[in-house]
Amino acid sequence: MKLLVTGGAGFIGSNFIRHMIKFHPGDSIINLDLLTYAGNPENLEEISAHQNYHFVHGNICNYELLDAVIDQFHIDTMVNFAAESHVDRSISKPGLFITTNVLGTQTLLEAAKNKHISKFVQISTDEVYGSLGSDGYFTEKTPLAPNSPYSASKASADMIVRSYSETYGLNINITRCSNNYGPFQFPEKLIPLIMTQALEDRELPVYGDGNNIRDWLFVEDHCAAIDLVLHQGKPGEIYNIGGHHEMRNIDLVKLILDKLNKPQSLIKQVPDRLGHDRRYAIDATKIKTELGWQPQYSFETGINETIRWYLTHQNWWRKIRSREYVD
């Protein structure tokens, strides 16, 4: 396989590339990334010299570049991680999210169609489904009801991906995951933000009453699921990927503080985010029954592994922190 991974210098993309190098060392992996604020070449430093790994600096909105990269490396498969992904940023700069997440995805699809790519996998999010009440789960048949500019841009991209399957016959899959956590996650996201703030004895901002519920998925389990979809996913199908570990944000923050031996007095409740979804929870029955995927990490194992990584890689996160994320 000659695989183009877009957005491979980000959190999930870089973990996926390391997964593929480990389990499919004979495949060629080409990483196309613009290296915006959350894209970090250090995320892949350990495999940067691998003979089957190549990095290309560029924008997924640049069709001419995509065309040249596909020809140069004889690309036959594409996985799209490239996206603006932070909800708070989408509220202040929605246009940027439309450009990258919608127009960028369409540009990738056009290149895939014209170059007869054999498989295109779109990495999406459970946020496209909107918000759940106190019970129930998102399935692949749940209507899309995004509530933020970020989730709306991802839902729009999903619909465009589907259209290239129905109209042009492109072999596509869409994956929708719950909240990821693990090594190399940028410190603006909840778990690494809480850990890095706590390690510096700074206040921990918690939106509203802290009772928003998320389903947590360890990033390596997510990568293994994408690997299965890439190799075995049925053409045109959507697969939900969930960690089956729901937790209130406030309870998660307190748990991390306990593990770090830090006081709960660091918690500072702040005004709630605009349009803040109350609960996400995924039903992953389809990928389990059709492709045989099962998460290998319990939440306890995953969070301990994540905390251990941030404790032993403080140079990594200290170099990328700034007042913007502290505030």
Residues serving a catalytic function are 126-127, 150
Give the Cβ contact number of residue 29 at 10 Å: 26
Nearest of 104, 82, 101, 90 to residue 14 by alpha carbon: 82
How many Cα atoms within 13 Å fall on the side-chain side of residue 190?
24
Which long-range CB contacts under 8 A does 250-258 form with residues at least 24 apart? 250/206, 250/209, 250/210, 250/211, 252/190, 252/191, 252/194, 252/214, 252/216, 253/194, 253/204, 253/206, 253/210, 255/303, 256/191, 256/194, 256/195, 256/198, 256/303, 256/307, 257/194, 257/198, 257/204
Question: What is the DSSP code string of 17-79?
Answer: HHHHHHH-TTSEEEEEE---TT--GGGGGGGTT-TTEEEEE--TT-HHHHHHHHHHHT--EEE
Q: Which position has the token pair 């991390």?
A: 256
Cα 255–258–263 angle (5° rounding)? Answer: 115
Give CA 223 to chain center in angstroms. Answer: 10
Nearest of 106, 226, 87, 232 to residue 170 by alpha carbon: 106
